[in-house]
Amino acid sequence: MKLFGKEGLAAVGIVLSVVFALSFLNFYININSSLVEHTLAGSAISTGRLTLFIMITNVSNGSVFFAPGWNFVSLYPQLLNYSIEYVLSGVSGQYEYILEWNGTSQDFNLWSRNGVKDFDEFNKNKSYFIFFTGTNTSLNLSGARFGDYNITLPQGWEAPLWPYEYDASVSGQVFYNVSFDYMLTWNRSDQEFMVYSIQSSTPDFNSILAGDGYFIRTEGGKLVYVRA
């Protein structure tokens, strides 16, 4: 991530916190493989006297919750336009920073309202950190439902999309075709990570909520999502 001048300084805290957390987790895992604790519807067409009601069964509404501070989100369903301005139009003016995880460099790219913009649209395969300045609210999105869907993961950490309007169950050490050793989700209230370790009998979580983002650490592979 590139930070130029003062405009990026307000995002440094979360960036350093997340990168340090992931780096520390990598280091600690390498020296202690038994780690069990963490530090960290439809439309109508009328012609003359004939009205046709066409049910569009593949259209879905998504709801992404935002609270003040950092939020880690998955943007679903599939949208027609992934520009930041379009996707977040429902909360216009109420977000200051967006972080996108770069799986290749294992670092963040930054979008800052008043400064550097490493990207200007969302990648539909990724989860995103968004710093929200408004009050508790839900962002409603509409688009085509995700069906069965594949996402290729690099070796190391990645922050893929959770594409469905229902929660994902997390158990064992395989998640939708990919073997992993750690997963992270975000606690909005405490502004910190929750950790799932395959070595722990009492992980912090066992599900990913619809609309939430997550990190997963793997040796690489392909997520093969199958719609329930």
DSSP 8-state assignment for residue 160: B
d(CA 43, CA 41): 7
116 within domain boundaries: yes
Given a cut of 80, is residue 152 above it in pLDDT?
yes
> Mean of the pLDDT values across residues 150-165?
98
d(CA 159, CA 68): 21
Domain limits at 155? 6-41+55-225
Give residue-wise pLDDT tens across range 21-71. 565 455 444 434 333 333 333 333 334 444 444 444 577 899 999 999 999
194 within domain boundaries: yes
69 within domain boundaries: yes
Q: What per-residue confidence (pLDDT) applies to 60? A: 82
49 within domain boundaries: no
Kindly list the distances between the CA atom of residue 220 and the CA atoms of 155, 202, 205, in Å, as whole numbers in the listed order: 4, 25, 23
Q: Are strands 174-175 and 178-187 parallel, antiparallel or unpaired?
A: antiparallel
101 within domain boundaries: yes
48 within domain boundaries: no
50 within domain boundaries: no
84 within domain boundaries: yes
**How many domains in the chain?**
1
